[in-house]
Homo-oligomer: A and B are copies of this chain.
Amino acid sequence: MKFHTKIYLLFSGYLLSVEKMSPMSAVKSRLLPAITTVTSVGVGVLLGVQYERKALPFPSVLAKTSSPSDEVDTRTVPGHLVPVPPMPGPQSSPGKAGQIMRYGFPGLTDLKSREGYVVSYDRRNRNPHWVFEHLTSAHVRGDSDRQQCDFKEDETIHPYFRATNWDFKRSGYDRGHLAAAANHRHSQTAMGDTFYLSNISPQVGEGFNRDAWNRLEMYVRGLTKQFNNVYICTGPLYLPRKEVDGKMYVKYEVIGRNHVAVPTHFFKVIACETNKGELILESYVMPNAKIDNNLPLKNFLVPVESIERASGLLLFDRIPRNAFKAINGRQP
Contact = CB atoms under 8 A, between A and B. Distances in A.
A104 B250 contact: no
Contact of A311 (B40, B76, B124, B252): B124
Interface string A43-83: 11101110110001110011001101011111110001111
A124 B161 CA distance: 19
A223 interface: no
Interface stretch (A2-10, A13-21, A206-214, A289-297): A13-21
Interface string A226-263: 00110101000010100000011111111101010100
B105 A159 contact: no
Interface residues of A, number: 145
A36 interface: yes
Interface in A72-123: 72-76, 80-87, 89-91, 94-97, 99-118, 120, 122-123
Given A44-B45, A103-B271, A309-B160, A80 B320 contact: yes
B27 A76 contact: yes
Nearest to A42: B48
Contacts of A188: none
B41 A52 contact: yes
A104 B320 contact: no
A224 to B, nearest CB: 11
Contacts of A18: 257, 259
Contacts of A101: 118, 132, 231
B109 A229 contact: no
Nearest to A81: B323
Contacts of A233: 106
